[in-house]
Amino acid sequence: MQKTSIFTSESVCAGHPDKICDQISDAILDSVLTIDPKGRVAVETLVSHKQVVIAGEVTYIGKKIDYKKIARAEIKRLGFTNKLFNFTDKSDILVNVHEQSPDIATGVDNEGAGDQGMMFGYACNETANLMPLPIELSHQLAMRLDEVREKKIIPYLRPDGKTQVSINYVNDKPVSVNNIVIAVPHNEDIKLSKVKSDVIAKVIKPVLKKFNLTVDKEDVVVNGTGVWHIGGPSSDTGVTGRKIIVDTYGGYARVGGGAFSGKDPSKVDRSGAYAARFIAKNIVAKGLADKAEVRLAYCIGVKEPTMQEVETFGTAKVSAKEIDKFAKNLIHTSVRGIIEKLDLLKPQYKKTAAYGHFGRDEFSWEKVE
């Protein structure tokens, strides 16, 4: 008897308010690591109507960083330069950044974890990059939305946007697209019918073609309320770390308790999740299982994980003992081991802060060994 189901995931464009915050926080992190690779960073950003707030803890050795300059550069890069948006690179910025707590620094300086917590990594053979299909398509649509706006292929689109894809599954295998939802702001003089037509022709069809998929026009919703002209922080306040499902597996797999952006790799919320994905992807890539979930847990100040487990959901091709051995030989999951193996002290994090942290070959935790 066939088992049928539908699974939905969403992504957001780089100009989404929460993603603006993630990118500012990670741009600050990259700036610190450029000056001092051993710098400690935990930075949160909030964006709202005509205002930006940057707060957190930063400790490093080197020249002073201009937080406001970094934020303004990111806001401008993301397309928020029009006064009509009520949020631009000229908006007011409040900075409240101080040094890392000495209590935390003591444990981290001894190569211990920067906090307690649990992290998950996941991989499956639904796509070439071993990501679940719903989140992969959602990310690809978000990237394409930004591309057609930036390249003026659809010149009337404005920054911000969201994508959502529902996939039909039969016996736990993806078979077709059930429906697609797109939300994107645009100039006032453009009718919704044209927006939908252009988005289908220039965004949805090119993306689905890469996956040999199609969708009926009737199963596509663009701007469900009928009107969306002003996007960004003037419409919705954004905060760093509020899109952890978008950043990971689109709800298809479990995620840990902490977000990634604005955190240096001594924070296991980030480095532990990257290591878990690295292990899970290599397990599936090597044909040891069709699906893999890796679970890690840490205690603040302690070098080694307090838990390391692998779950393959009945899809393993070899014994659990062999998979555990493979995982432990692949990477040493102490904080230092992860940082060294995945080269996490180099500035690279702003790129992770939009379109998901996983499934992108440019990052070291996506490499197959």
Residue-wise pLDDT tens digits, 269-301: 999 999 999 999 999 999 999 999 999 999 998
Torsion on CA atoms 241, 246, 251, 255, rounded to nearest 10: -40
Q: What is the pLDDT of residue 100?
A: 75
* pLDDT tens digit sequence for 331-360: 999 999 999 999 999 999 999 999 999 999
Closest CA to 133 of 11, 2, 244, 216: 11
Domains and CATH numbers, the chain: 4-12+136-234 (3.30.300.10), 17-99 (3.30.300.10), 117-125+238-366 (3.30.300.10)
Task: Say what the pLDDT of residue 113 is.
Answer: 87
Higher-confidence position of 107 and 50: 50
User: How many CB atoms neighbour CB 294 within 10 A?
Assistant: 26
- Cα–Cα distance measured from residue 353 to residue 43, given in angstroms and rounded to the nearest whole number: 13
Encode pLDDT of 181-191 as tens digits: 999 999 999 99
Over residues 155-177, the pLDDT tens digits come to: 999 999 999 999 999 999 999 99
Structure tokens at 3: 């088992």
Quick check: helix, strand or coil at residue 178?
Answer: strand
Distance of CA 59 to the CA centre of its chain: 25
pLDDT confidence of residue 109: 64
Q: What is the predicted pLDDT for the residue at 107?
A: 58
Over range 64-86, report the average pLDDT: 97
User: Which residues are paired to 53 by β-bridges?
Assistant: 46, 94
Query: Span 245-271, mean pLDDT?
Result: 97
Q: State the pLDDT confidence band at 108, using cuts at 50, 70 and 90.
A: low
The yes-or-no verdict on residue 106 having pLDDT over 70 is: no
Q: What is the predicted pLDDT for the residue at 294?
A: 99
pLDDT for residue 102 is more than 90: no
Q: Which residues contact 45 (CB under 8 A, 6 or more apart)?
A: 20, 21, 22, 24, 25, 52, 53, 54, 55, 71, 238, 239, 240, 262
Average pLDDT along the chain: 96
C-alpha span between 77 and 79 (Å, rounded): 5
The 8-class DSSP code of residue 251 comes to T
